Structures are given as C-alpha cells and as structure tokens.
Amino acid sequence: MEDVLDRFLRYVKIDTQSREGEGSPTTAKQFDLARLLVSELEAMGAAQVRLDEEHCYVYARIPGNLAPGRTAPAIGLIAHMDTSPAVSGENVKPRVLLYEGGDIDLSGDGTYVLRPGDFPILNNYVGQELVVTDGSTLLGADDKAGVAEIMALAEYLLTHPEAEHGEVCLAFTPDEEVGGGVRHFDLEHFGADFGYTVDGGPLGGLEYENFNAASAAVTVTGRSTHTGSAKNAMRNAVTLAMEFQSLLPPEETPEHTEGYEGFYHLDSIRGDVEKCEMSYILRDHDRSKLEAKKARFGAIAAYLNEKYGGEVFNTRVKDTYYNMKEVILPHMEIVDKVLEAMGDLGITPMVTPIRGGTDGAMLSYMGLPCPNLCTGGCVCHSRYEFASVPHMRKIVELLAHILEKHVKS
C-alpha cells in the first residue's frame, strides 16, 4: 500500500488554484488532479468511478463488505481539490523534514522563515516529520491532505477485506475556496446517508457548528451642490455612510471577536457626495442573534431616514448560509462515532465552532448531514502552511475506524 505521504507529495505538485469569478470549475487546471485521481481510483479497483467532465467533480464507491446480518449506513467522504487564490499554488516544492524545534528557514535565504514565535502551534510538532514549502507558494495541505487521506483509505479498504465497513461514497470537489464547491454536487448519484468533509486542521479537530451568514448592502443617496452654497442643501452620502457605520457596535467586528462571538464586517465602501455604497457581511453561530443583527440594519436605516426626512438609506439583506448544527443535532450519532473512534485511537478531540462556512454546511442543508474532520494540515492559505506526516497517517487510520464504528450487528 502506498504511504499517504507519497500521495500527498504527488498531489500538492499539481497546481489546482481556483479563482474568484465565473465558471464552474473556475479554473480548468483543477481537471489535472481530477483526472489523476480518476485513473488512480480505477487502478486500485474502486467502483463506479466517474468524472463530471463538465464541472470537475470526481465520484467513486468502495462497496460494503459487511458480514451477514450486519448493517451500516452509506457514508460519504469528501475533500476539495482546489487551493486558495490567496497564495500561489504553482510549482509547489514540498520539503519533508524532521522538526527538532526552533525556526525553519523555508526559502533558505531568511526571506521566509517559519517561526514558533509567529506560529506557536509549531511547538506541538517537535520531533515530528513535517512537510513545508520553500516559501514561494502555499503547500496545499488544504485540502490535498484530505484528498490524500481519503485516497489512502480507499486503497487500504480495497486491499484489507478484513476491515469491515458499509458502502463508502467518495467525492472530490472543485472550487471550495471560492464558495462553489457544492454548486454542481450530484447528491443523488453520491448516494450517501450522511458524510464527512475531510477539510479541517490539526489532528483531533471535529467541527459541526459554523456561522449563520448574511450579506447586507447599504446604499446612501446624497445630494450634490456647490460647496459655496451648500448650507442646508447638500447631503453628503459619504459622511452619512460614516454615520450609519458609527451606529453599529464597535466591538462586534472580526478583529475584536472570537469563539462564538458574532460580528458585523464592513467589507467595502465606495462612493462620493451623491451616492455611497457599503457592503457588509454579518455572522453569528446563533440564528436568533443573526436575525437581531439583520434587524438592526433595518432599524438604523429607519432611524436615519426619519432624521434626514426621506429615503436616504436603502438596505438589502440576504442570507448566505446557515449553521449546520441545526441539521446535525437530530443525528448526533454521526458526531458521537467520531468521538468514540478518536478515543479508541488515543486522539484528543478538539471540537470547535467554525468561524466561517464549509461545504459541509451547504451539503447539510441540501440533505446530507456533514461534519468536518481534521487533515493534519496547519496555517492554511499561507506560505507557512505545513502538514504533519504522522498525523496524516493517523487520520487514515481514524477514517477506517470511524467506518467500523458505524457497523451495527
């Protein structure tokens, strides 16, 4: 059986960066990895291997091998093939090293140095084999560590018939990093009862709560006059926009919140005296608190319209995605089996709320409850991204054990 490390090193060298913009997939180069995965799945003997030639999704199955009288749900495992547009993914040169503590000079000339001072999490990895970059690109452990682990698991299951499991449904998706990962996901073809995305961070990570999210656009209509004769006539849309912003709680912003604390984020503002447009994103794990944030936008606009006597402020608020917890809660055994499997393998679970969304959140609302599992990657979307080799191996074992945990006699 091929080591998960070798798979990982092979996959990260393939540039699969997605981009903001039109198209699905947003970049054709994601097919390079998709086609490789298809040929590898076929070579290892996976069933129903299929490439969506139009939208770049890879699907496959590992048929169940249950003993007579035993049952198990069909379990989905999902990872995304693309890497973040934040940092280049071209010509990734992964380096494997034994981390003995201290700084790691990634570029070799002191330009890019991975320091425990900047990333204290590094201290947890002393004595481990790590994969790092040369500082010129990201690594792509997000999410090629997940891809490699699922592929290694598939090969393991196909060569170890004694490892008992039900039907396993595999999918590799494009464009997760730009919010398009499930746009063309064929849930019916996929055929799982529930799933796990393998797209988290350090070993032990388990996530089944994410933000509820909305976007809000505020348009301020001003009135331009000559500045010399502006008294009681000019209405400056830019200063009115600043007044709107000043009525939001200053401590409820991304830079001042963590954990379960939600926020208002002014993402962009552009305008002049006649017209100013602001776009916000609103986030909260608690649905009722998000509703309160949305309501506050309407209330502020109403107050200011009253103050300035007219339709000066116009707000449009739209929900973007929801917290998957509402979908997972009625099926908590999906989470419990992971916790049990981690316990059996001596992995300390780290259950944290995601301060963002995941493909799993969208899939959950499409009818496929889908918590997120760890990959062993760290500091994603960065030149300083790294992955732990022993943890990637452990996660392959964890996936196999989770499948076993779902078998009922």
| Residue 176 or 284 with smaller CB distance to Zn ion | 176
- Smallest gap from residue 81 Cβ to Zn ion (A): 10
- Smallest gap from residue 371 Cβ to Zn ion (A): 14
What residues does 197 pair with on adjacent strands?
78, 372
Please tell me which residue in 82, 143, 175, 252 is annotated as part of the active site: 82
User: What is the rounded CA–CA span in Å between residue 113 and residue 72?
Assistant: 47
Contact call for residue 385 and Zn ion (CB under 5 A): no
- Smallest gap from residue 143 Cβ to Zn ion (A): 4
Candidates 28-36, 65-73, 112-120, 134-142: pick the segment binding Zn ion (CB under 5 A). 134-142
User: What is the rounded CA–CA span in Å between residue 349 and residue 90?
Assistant: 34
Candidates 42-50, 135-143, 215-223, 237-245: pick the segment binding Zn ion (CB under 5 A). 135-143
Apex CA 139: angle with CA 137 and CA 140, to 5°?
115
| Residue 135 or 146 with smaller CB distance to Zn ion | 146
| Residue 143 or 209 with smaller CB distance to Zn ion | 143
- Smallest gap from residue 400 Cβ to Zn ion (A): 22
| Residue 158 or 380 with smaller CB distance to Zn ion | 380
Phi and psi angles of residue 54, each rounded to the nearest 5 degrees, phi first: -85, -45
Candidates 124-132, 140-148, 201-209, 396-404: pick the segment binding Zn ion (CB under 5 A). 140-148
Residue 235 is given by DSSP the state B
| Residue 143 or 164 with smaller CB distance to Zn ion | 143
Closest CA to 4 of 402, 346, 398: 398
Contact call for residue 149 and Zn ion (CB under 5 A): no
The tokens describing 122, both together, are 């590094």
Residue entry with tokens 């109403």: 302
Residue 122 is given by DSSP the state G
Q: How many residues does the chain have?
A: 409
Closest CA to 299 of 251, 370, 244, 230: 244
Site map 48..87 versus Zn ion, x via CB under 5 A: ----------------------------------------
Candidates 69-77, 142-150, 309-317, 394-402: pick the segment binding Zn ion (CB under 5 A). 142-150
Of the candidate residues 143, 149, 155, 207, the single one contacting Zn ion (CB under 5 A)? 143
| Residue 138 or 168 with smaller CB distance to Zn ion | 138
Which 188-207 positions form the footprint of Zn ion (CB under 5 A)? 199
Three-state DSSP class for residue 85? coil
Q: What is the dihedral of CA 363, 369, 374, 379, to 10 degrees?
A: 40
Beta carbons of 17 and 25 less than 8 angstroms apart: no
Apex CA 385: angle with CA 384 and CA 388, to 5°?
125
CB-neighbour burial class of residue 217 (10 A; exposed 0-12, middle 13-18, buried 19+): middle
- Smallest gap from residue 246 Cβ to Zn ion (A): 36
**What angle, 0 to 180 degrees and rounded to 10, lies between the N-to-C axes of helices 4-12 and 389-405?**
110
Please tell me which residue in 52, 142, 149, 176 is annotated as part of the active site: 176
82 carries an active-site annotation: yes
- Smallest gap from residue 79 Cβ to Zn ion (A): 8
The DSSP bridge pattern shows strands 113-114 and 263-271 to be unpaired
Q: Which amino acid is at 204?
A: G
Closest CA to 278 of 193, 215, 190: 215
Contact call for residue 359 and Zn ion (CB under 5 A): no
109 carries an active-site annotation: no
- Smallest gap from residue 200 Cβ to Zn ion (A): 8
Contact call for residue 142 and Zn ion (CB under 5 A): yes
Residue 78 host element (H or E)? strand 75-80
| Residue 143 or 284 with smaller CB distance to Zn ion | 143
- # of chain residues touching Zn ion (CB under 5 A): 3
- Smallest gap from residue 176 Cβ to Zn ion (A): 6
Beta carbons of 173 and 80 less than 8 angstroms apart: yes
| Residue 52 or 143 with smaller CB distance to Zn ion | 143
- Please report, as ranges, the residues that interact with Zn ion according to CB under 5 A: 142-143, 199
- Catalytically active residues are 82, 176
